[in-house]
Amino acid sequence: MPKIHKPGSKANISGQYGIIGPRGGDTNKERTVVKGEPFPPTPKPNQKYVLKDKTKH
CB 16 within 8 A of CB 5: no
CA distances 38 to 8, 16, 25, Å, are: 5, 13, 22
Q: What is the pLDDT of residues 23-44, one digit of tens each?
A: 999 999 999 999 999 999 999 9
Q: What is the pTM of this model?
A: 0.91
Q: Got the DSSP string for 4-33?
A: EE-TTSBPSS-EEEEEE-TTS-EEEEEEEE
- Look at residue 47 in the predicted model and tell me its pLDDT: 97
Domain ranges of the chain: 4-54
